[in-house]
Structure 1
Amino acid sequence: MSIRTFMCLRKYSSETKTSKFFTTPIYYVNANPHIGHLYSSIIADAAQRWQRLYQKGADVKFSTGTDEHGSKIQRAANKNDTSPLEYCNRISSQFQRLANEFDVDYTDFIRTTCNEHKKTVELFWKAIENRGHFYLSGYEGWYSVQDETFLSNSQLKQKQENDGTESYISAESGHPVEWTTEQNYMFKLSNFRNDLEYWINRNEKVIRPKKFQRILLDLLNQEDGLHDLSVSRPTSRVQWGIPVPGDPSQTVYVWLDALVNYLTVSGYGRDETTFQKYWPPEVHVIGKDILKFHGIYWPAFLMAANLEPPKSLFCHSHWTVDSEKMSKSKGNVVCPFERATTYTTDGLRYFLLREGVAHSDGNYSDTKILRILNSELADTLGNLLNRCCSPTLNPRQTFPAIESSAFDNVSSLEVTKKLIESVTQLPEICRIHYDDLNFYKVADAVMETLHAANLFFESLKPWVLAKSPETQKDLDVVLHVTLETLRATGILLQPLVPNISKNLLDKINVEEGRRYFTDLGSFSWTRNDFIGIPLREQRDVLFRRILLEDETKKAKKL
C-alpha cells in the first residue's frame, strides 16, 4: 500500500487533534546519565511545556524512560557482577532521578523490561507478521556488537591496525565490526523505500532541522539500495531480550523492541480510546546518533503494521566538552547531578537550551556557563527584579497602579517607547521560535527585551525619583512598566526555567491561573481598571551569582 493511500485511510490523519503526545528517546542503561541525555530530555520537556503554556488546559502525554535489553546490557551486568535486571534497576533509577531533579514533567516513565511493554512488542510483531512483512532467512553480514546492528558495505570504512593489518569499522560510530553468519527474521524494509521518501518529504516539519532530512534521503538513495533488515537475533547469542512470538530460539532485535516503547505508552492494543487520542506522536525528540532508527526503521515498521508514522522528528546534535568529544577514556563526561550543585538545575537547563543549536554540536565549558548564568539570570533578570522590589525604591511593596498623565509623560521618552515596543512584540516572536523548537532564539529575544528594560530603568533613575514626593507618580510608572515587563518575560520563560519563572511570578503575585500565553494578549499599562497588587513577602534571590572558588574565599574573609 502506498503511504499516499495509507494516509487518506487513517480517519484522524486530516484532523487537528487537541491531544498531543511528546517523547524523549528512551535511554540505554549501559552507563549513567550525562548532559547529552539531559539535553534530549529538556528539549522535549520545553516543547510539551510550551504546548501547555500556549493552549490553556491542553491535554498532553509526555513520555521518557529506559531501554534495557540487548547484549551490551548482558555484558555490563556481568562486568558489575550482578543480574541483568538488578543492573537495569540501578541505572534506570538514575535516569528517573535525572528527570525528576531537572523538572522533566513527564506523564509516563517507560521501562522496556516491564510486562506491559513485552506484551505490546508481541502484539506489534504479530501485526507486522500477519501482513507478510517478515520472513526467516539465513543471513550474513558485517555486525557491530557495540551498536547491535548489521551494516551494509556503504556504512563501513577501513582502519589500519598497529601491526599493519586492515579491519573494518562502522563509518558512523567507529566501532569494530565482525563478519557474522546466522539465521534471523528479516523485515522487508526495501519494500517501503517510496513510502518513506514520501513521508520524509511530506512537509518541512516532519524532519527538523532540514540537514537531517537530507541525511535520511541520502540513506534511502545509497548506491547499494535499501536493504531488508534483520529484526531478530539467535537466543544463543542474545538471551537478554524479548523472545520472538512463537519462536523462542530467536530474540526480538533490540531496536525494534525499544522503538515500540512509544506504542506501549500510547495504549496500543490495550486501550483503543487512549491510542486514538494520542497517536501519532506530535514530536519525537532524538539525538543524531539514532536518526536512522527513528527516521527509517521506525516509520517503516509502523507502516507495515498499518499505523501512522509520527508527525515530526526533532533531531539534535551532540555536546563536546571544551571542544573535545565526551568520552570515558578522556575522563571528560559531564555529570548533570554534579554540575547542578554549582549551577542549579534551572541554571543548567537554561545554559543547554540557550547554547544548544540543533543543527550543530554545542560546546560545554564551565567558563562559558558561569559567564552566561551570571550575566543573564543573575544580573539581567534577577537583579532587575531585586531593584524593583527593594524597600528603598518600593517601600509600599506593590506592583503599583499608575495615573494616565504620569504614564503619558514617561512613555513619551524614546527609551520607554523602545521598551514598550519590545515587550509588545515579544510574545509573538517567542511563539514563532517555540513552535520551531528554537529555544535559543526564545532566550535571545527575552534577553533583548530585558536589556531594554534595564536601560529604561537606568535612564529613568528611580533612586532619584524616590527621593521626592513630587516625582512619586513617575516612580510608580517606572516600577509598573518594569514589573509588567518581568511578568511577560516570566510567563514566556516557563518552558526553559520553570522554577525561576515560578519564583518570579510568585513574587509579583501573578495568579497561577493567569500564567498562560493568552494572558499576554494585553498589558497592564493599557488597562484603566488596573489596581495596585501587593508583592509577596518572600525575599529569596531569584538567581544567586556564582562565585569562583577564589572569589568565595575572598568573600568569606570580608
Structure 2
Amino acid sequence: MRLTLRLFSSVVQKRPFFVSTPIFYVNAAPHLGHLYSAVVADAIQRFEKLIDPNCNVLFSTGTDEHGTKIQQAASKVGQAPAEYCSSISEEYRRLFAEYNVEHTDFVRTTEDRHKKAVAHFWKELVEGGHIYKAVYSGWYSVSDESFVPEAHTREVVQHGRKVRVSAESGHEVEWTEEPNYMFRLSAFREHLQRWLKTDGVITPSKYQKQLQEQLERETYFPDISVSRPASRVHWAIRVPGDENQSIYVWLDALVNYLTVTGYPDEDAVRARGRAWPADVHVVGKDILKFHGVYWPAFLMAARLHPPRRLACHAHWTVDAVKMSKSLGNVVCPRNTPVTGDALRYFLLREGTLHSDANYSESKLINVVNSELADTLGNLVSRCCGAALNPRGEFPALHEAEAAQLARRDVAQALLTRVERLPEQCREYYSSYQFYKAVDEAIATLHACNLFFEALKPWELRKENRQRELDVVLHLALETLRVSAIVLQPVIPQLATSLLDRLLIPKDCRSWQHCETPSWRVAGAIHETKNIRGGKFLLFPRLYTDKKPAPQNKKKAAL
C-alpha cells in the first residue's frame, strides 16, 4: 500500500521546515567543501528559526557508506568496511559539532532504519512497474560509481596510453556488460521537464537552466541501471528478493532524505511531525544531476512529490587551483588557523552559490582580522569598556534626542543603515545570498565606527558631557544589538556572546526584535539598562607567527 507523507494534526500549529545536506561519502576524511555544504544548510535553518521561533525544523545530514570505493578505502587502511565507515562517520559528527552545525538528524546508510526505507522504496518502484531486469552494456566509471552514456565520454591520453573518460568528471571509464535491474528513467522525461519549469525549483537559476537545456538537447534519454552484481559490489544493500544484486549506491543514498522523516513507518512520521516534500536540499554542483534528474524521477515513480527546492552551490579552490588529493592541496578545516565561527564566517562571507570561491590562508586571516576583530570586535570593546562606559550601561534614549542627532549627516547615515538592515538581510537570507547579508551588516558596522569617530565620545567623557555621551553609546549599542541578531545564522556563537554581554533576554533575539530600532518606537522613553561588566574580548586578532595550538583553537575563537 502506498505511504502518504503528510503533516499530521497533532503538530499542525507548527510550521514544518525540512532542510538537508547531501550525505557525505566516507571514502576519505571531510574537507573544506563538505563543511561549506553543512554550514550553508545550517545558516538556512537558523534563519528559518529566527523568522519563526516555533518552526518545526528537520535538518538532516549524515554519511553515505556503501559502494566499491568504500571497499577499496577500507582495504587500503587494513580495516573492515564497517569499522572504517564508523571511524570516518564519527569524524563528520565531530567536525559539525566544532563548527556549530545544529543538525537534528545524522543518518548513516548502514543503519537498519535506512535499509528498511530503501527496501520499501525499491518495492514501491517494482510494484509501479518502473524497474525491470536486463543485461546492461555500457561505459562504467568506478570512481563515479555510475554508468556513463557514450555521448558523455571522450578519449584522452593518460600516462602514455589512450583511455576513455567521463566528459563530466574526467574519471576513466571501462566497458562493462552485466545483468542489472533498470529504472525506466525514459518514461519521466516530460515529467522532469515540467518540474524544471517551476520557478525557483533550483537556485541559482543558472543550474536550473543547465538541466533544462540538457533534457531539451539530448535526443536519447536512456533508462538507468539501479543495481550492480553483488559479486563486484558486496558492500551494499541487497536487492529485495535477489541476493545476487546490490542496489545502486545513488538510489540507496538518495533515499536518506525519506529515512529521516520516519519513512516508511507512518507512526514514526506522525511522532516526528514532519512533512514531505523537503523544503531545501543543499547540494554541490557536481551532484546536481543525481538530485535534479534521478531523485525527482525516483520520487515521481514512487508517487511522492519532488523536493520543493535544490540549493546548488559551486566549489572551493585553493590558491585558485581545484582541490585534489593527487595535488595534495585538500584543505582540512581543522588545519586552518581559525576554528568555530571564524571559519564559518569566512566560508559564508567569501563563498557564493553561483561561482567557485577561492581559499587562501592569507585571505582568511585578513578577512577575520579586518571584520571580526576590528570592525565588530573593536566597536564592542569601545562601547562596553570602562574607558567610555564605566557604569556598564545601555543608556536610555529619548525620541527627541534621536531626532536632533539625525540632523548630522554621519548620524543620519547610521540611522538609515540600521533601519534598513533587517529588511535587506531578510531578502538576502531568503535567497541564500549569505555574502550579501554579511556585506550589509559590515557596512552598517563601518557606518557606526565612522559615527563614533565623528562624535568623539572620548572627548564627551573627558568634558563630562554625560547626556551626549549616553546618546552616542545608545546608538552604537543599538547598532550592535540589531547587527548581532541579524548575524546569528552566520556566526551563532559570537552573536550569542555579544547579545549575552548586552544582557538581551533569550526570548528577545528573534527577527521581530530587530525589525524596529529603538528610535522608531513612537513616544518611547527607553529605560537605562545594565550590560554585563568585566573584561570582554569578542574576537582577538590573529597573527601568522602566533597561530593558536590546536587544543586552544576553540578558546581563541570565542
Q: Which residue of 2 aligns with 1:509?
A: 503
Q: Deviations over 1:297-333 (max 9, x none)?
A: 0000000000011000000011000011111222211
What's the % identity of the aligned pairs? Answer: 51
- State the Cα distance separating 1:521 from its structure 2 match: 3.0
Instruction: Tell me, yes or no, if structure 1 residue 104 matches structure 2 residue 101.
Output: yes
Correspondence list, 1:445-464, <5 A: 445-464=440-459
CA contact (8 A) 1:353 1:496 kept: yes
Using the alignment, how far apart are the partners of 2:6 and 2:485 within structure 1? 36
- Aligned to 2:22, the other structure's residue is in SS state strand
Q: Secondary structure at the match of 2:23?
A: strand
1:451-493 deviation digits (Å, cap 9, x = unpaired): 1111111100000000123x21111010000000000000000
1:410 equivalent among 405, 410, 413: 405
Alpha-carbon distance in structure 2 between the residues aligned to 1:150 and 1:467: 76
SS at structure 2 position matched to 1:25? coil
- Correspondence for 1:131: 128
**Is it true that 1:424 corresponds to 2:423 in the alignment?**
no
Please say if residues 32 and 94 of structure 1, whose CA atoms lie closer than 8 Å, have aligned partners that are also in contact: yes
**What's 2:274 paired with?**
277
Shift of 1:219: 2.7
Give the deviation of 1:540 after TM superposition: 3.1
1:295 corresponds, among 292, 296, 301, to: 292
What is the CA-CA distance between 1:539 and the residue it aligns to? 2.6
Within the candidate set 153, 170, 176, 1:156 is matched to 153
8 Å contact from structure 1 (residues 509, 536) kept in 2? yes
C-alpha displacement at 1:409, in angstroms? 3.1
Residue in 2 that maps onto 1:55: 52
Q: Distance in 1 between matches of 2:490 and 2:309?
A: 21
Secondary structure of 2:424's match? helix
Decide whether aligned partners of structure 1 residues 135 and 274 sit closer, same or farther in structure 2, where only a CA change above 3 A counts. farther
Residue 469 of structure 2 corresponds to: 475
* Separation (CA, whole Å) in 1 of partners of 2:376 and 2:426: 20
Q: Distance in 2 between matches of 1:168 and 1:105?
A: 43
SS at match of 1:466: helix
Matched, 1:210 2:214: no
Q: Distance in 2 between matches of 1:437 and 1:161?
A: 40
Relative to the length of structure 2, the TM-score reads 0.93
What's the offset of the Cα at 1:398? 0.4
Task: Give the equivalent residue in structure 1 for 2:115.
Answer: 118
Which residue number in structure 2 is paired with residue 21 of structure 1?
18
Q: Distance in 1 between matches of 2:127 and 2:285?
A: 32
Query: Are 1:72 and 2:69 matched, yes or no?
Result: yes
Deviation at 1:224, TM superposition (A): 4.1
- Once the two structures are superposed, residues 426-448 of structure 1 have per-residue CA deviations (whole angstroms, 9 ceiling, x without a partner) of 10000000000000000001011
Provide the rounded CA distance (Å) in 2 between the counterparts of 1:16 and 1:122: 33
SS in 1 for 2:233: coil
Structure 1 residues 370 and 248, CA gap change in structure 2 (3 angstroms): same
CA distance in structure 2 between the aligned counterparts of 1:57 and 1:16, rounded to whole angstroms: 9
Q: CA offset at residue 421 of structure 1?
A: 0.7
Which of residues 309, 312, 334 is equivalent to 2:331? 334
Shift of 1:172: 1.2
Do the aligned residues in 1 keep the contact of 2:398 with 2:526 (CA within 8 Å)?
no
Q: Is the 8 A contact 1:139 1:181 kept in 2?
A: yes
2:328 is paired with a residue whose SS is coil
* Aligned residues of 2:395 and 2:528 also touching (Cα < 8 A): yes
Q: Which moved more, 1:330-339 or 1:187-196?
A: 330-339
**Of residues 528, 531, 535 in structure 1, which corresponds to 2:531?**
535
Deviation at 1:220, TM superposition (A): 1.6
Counterpart in the other structure of 2:180: 184
In structure 2, which of residues 490, 493, 496 is the aligned counterpart of residue 496 of structure 1? 490
Q: What is the TM-score when the length of structure 1 is the normalising length?
A: 0.93
Alpha-carbon distance in 2 for matches of 1:405, 1:454: 23
Change (3 A) 1:405 1:276: closer
Contact 2:381-2:536 within 8 A present in 1 as well: no
Q: Residue 407 of structure 1 contacts residue 474 of structure 1 at CA under 8 Å; is this kept in 2?
A: no
Q: Distance in 1 between matches of 2:223 and 2:470?
A: 71
**CA-to-partner distance for each residue in 1:143-183, whole Å, 9 max, x for gaps?**
001110000022112102444x5321011111100000000
Structure 1 portions without partners, runs of 5+: 1-8, 553-558
Q: Distance in 2 between matches of 1:231 and 1:177?
A: 18
CA distance in 2, matches of 1:84, 1:551: 37
Instruction: Output the CA distance in 2 between the equivalents of 1:80 and 1:369.
Output: 33
Task: Measure the CA separation in 1 of the matches of 2:486 and 2:540.
Answer: 21
Instruction: Name the amino acid aligned to 1:542.
Output: L
What runs of 5+ residues in structure 2 fail to find an aligned partner?
Answer: 549-558
Deviation of 1:550 after TM superposition, in Å, equals 7.3
What's 1:264 paired with?
259
Q: 1:357 pairs with 352, 357, 362, which one?
A: 352
Deviation at 1:216, TM superposition (A): 1.1
The reply to whether residue 519 of structure 1 matches residue 548 of structure 2 is no
Change (3 A) 1:162 1:269: closer
Distance across 1 between alignment mates of 2:447 and 2:422: 15
How many residue pairs get aligned? The number is: 537
Question: Hey, what does 1:556 align to over in structure 2?
Answer: none
Structure 2 residue matching 1:522: 3-state secondary structure = coil
The answer for the alignment partner of 2:43 in structure 1 is 46
Q: Is the 8 A contact 1:403 1:473 kept in 2?
A: no
Matches within 5 A, 1:308-327: 308-327=305-324
SS of the aligned residue for 1:160 comes to strand
Contact 1:406-1:473 at 8 Å conserved across structures: no
Distance 2:82 2:283 in 1: 25
Structure-1 separation of matches of 2:94 and 2:170: 31
Separation in structure 1 between the aligned mates of residue 272 and residue 445 of structure 2, nearest angstrom = 43
One-letter code aligned to 1:51 = E
